[in-house]
Amino acid sequence: MSTIKNIAIAGGSGLVGKPIVNALLKSGKFTLTALVRESSTSTFPSGVKVVKVDFDSVASLTEALKGQDALVSAIGNAALQGQNHLVDAAVAAGVSRFLPSEFGSNLDNAKAGALPVFGYKVATANYSKEIAASNPAFTYTFIRTGAFLESGLENNMLIDSQSGKPRIFDSGDQLWSAITLESVGQSVVGVLTHPEETRNRAVYVQSIATSQNKLLDVVKKLTPGKTQEPQYVSTEDVFNDSNAKLAKGNYSEGVMFGYIFVAMFGEGYGAAYETTDNELLGVTSLTEADVEDILKPIVARAN
């Protein structure tokens, strides 16, 4: 496969998109174009070409993608149902590599992939495989990252470091992979600089594999005068509760986050990666001490 040089990114101003843009620019290896909606007021670093498109129009996307070697999607959950338009446009424009917005849970795991919250992601992955099978010039890579470490700690999703009553799922000992946003960006750079090794497959990257109890130990260390009273919750109960609400037509964020918690903390969902592509993609690992350093300012602000 020829060298990838010209990159287009959709969702480049979001939580995941920003570190990807920064990493691509920092590498100095790519020419970057950000695709944004007509109504967008997002700003990007100098060196990024901004092109306004209609994400509901394959024709508009195709025109914007002409001359691009790769398309990275970092779009958020609200727009995931439109990713197949990106695939169709990429094929029509002759884009050789597509990275869909797969960052997160291990959707190659059958239990995780069956969770309703991931329906659009799984559909796009399957569509990408189908299109690649009949169009050899079109290829894909799915990047599995696990939980986003900084934001997950900041918003108490991974561990509640503020209330003194952290919610612990099941025993709290279940291991799961997590990654810094900087390393998410590096993983994209790694894929695009190793196109043949990452062709038509999922890659797995992580900064660390940890558990809620390990994080709770850090919180206790950082709040020596504060009593921590863990509130234990069953992932099976969370799963059943989300199912019951979904059956009644409740598609709220709370219902969907229930499934995400199950995928991260439940047993058998493949949340802790047995092997990774860290070395190939240039992603560095963290130690428990590094995680403590990330938690320190978060705990300090809250306590």
Closest by CA to 99, choosing from 151, 153, 30, 43, is: 30
The domain tally of the chain equals 2
pTM: 0.96
Sign of the C-alpha dihedral computed for residues 286, 287, 291 and 292 taken in this order: negative
283 in the same domain as 227: yes
User: Which three-class secondary structure state does DSSP give residue 7?
Assistant: strand
DSSP 283: P
**Boundaries of domain holding 187:** 6-144+181-204
CATH code for the domain of 213:
3.90.25.10
110 in the same domain as 36: yes
Taking the C-alpha atoms of residue 284 and residue 64, their distance in angstroms, rounded to an integer, is 34
DSSP 94: T
128, 87 Cβ separation under 8 angstroms: yes
Sign of the C-alpha dihedral computed for residues 18, 295, 293 and 233 taken in this order: negative
152 in the same domain as 284: yes
191 in the same domain as 290: no
Taking the C-alpha atoms of residue 226 and residue 220, their distance in angstroms, rounded to an integer, is 8
249 in the same domain as 158: yes
106 in the same domain as 212: no
CATH code for the domain of 187:
3.40.50.720
Per-residue confidence (pLDDT) for residue 1, from 0 to 100: 63
pLDDT over 80 at 303, yes or no: no
Looking at every residue in the chain, the average pLDDT score rounds to 96
DSSP string, 108-120: TSHHHHTSGGGHH
Could you tell me what percent of the chain has a pLDDT over 90? 95
- pLDDT tens string 60-116: 999 999 999 999 999 988 788 889 999 999 999 999 999 999 999 999 999 999 999
What's the token pair of residue 88?
A: 């169709």
User: Does a structural domain hold residue 236?
Assistant: yes
Any idea which residue has 């944004």 for tokens? Answer: 36
Residues forming a β-bridge with 70: 7, 97
User: Does a structural domain hold residue 289?
Assistant: yes
173 in the same domain as 131: no
Confidence band for 301, pLDDT divided at 50, 70 and 90? confident
Any idea which residue has 């990257």 for tokens? Answer: 205
Taking the C-alpha atoms of residue 173 and residue 156, their distance in angstroms, rounded to an integer, is 17
Closest by CA to 120, choosing from 147, 150, 86, is: 86
* Amino acid of residue 180: T
Q: What is the mean pLDDT of residues 236-250?
A: 98
Taking the C-alpha atoms of residue 97 and residue 196, their distance in angstroms, rounded to an integer, is 10
User: Does a structural domain hold residue 1?
Assistant: no
Q: Where are the alpha helices (DSSP H) in the chain?
A: 17-27, 58-65, 83-93, 110-113, 119-134, 149-154, 181-193, 212-222, 235-247, 253-265, 278-281, 288-302
Taking the C-alpha atoms of residue 176 and residue 183, their distance in angstroms, rounded to an integer, is 16
Any idea which residue has 């561990």 for tokens? Answer: 159
DSSP H helix total and E strand total for the chain: 12, 12
171 in the same domain as 260: yes
Taking the C-alpha atoms of residue 54 and residue 35, their distance in angstroms, rounded to an integer, is 9
Per-residue confidence (pLDDT) for residue 29, from 0 to 100: 97
159 in the same domain as 84: no
pLDDT over 90 at 170, yes or no: yes
DSSP 61: H
189 in the same domain as 45: yes
196 in the same domain as 56: yes
264 in the same domain as 116: no
Could you tell me what percent of the chain has a pLDDT over 70? 100
Per-residue confidence (pLDDT) for residue 189, from 0 to 100: 99
User: Does a structural domain hold residue 11?
Assistant: yes
Per-residue confidence (pLDDT) for residue 77, from 0 to 100: 86
- pLDDT tens string 186-242: 999 999 999 999 999 999 999 999 999 999 999 999 999 899 999 999 999 999 999
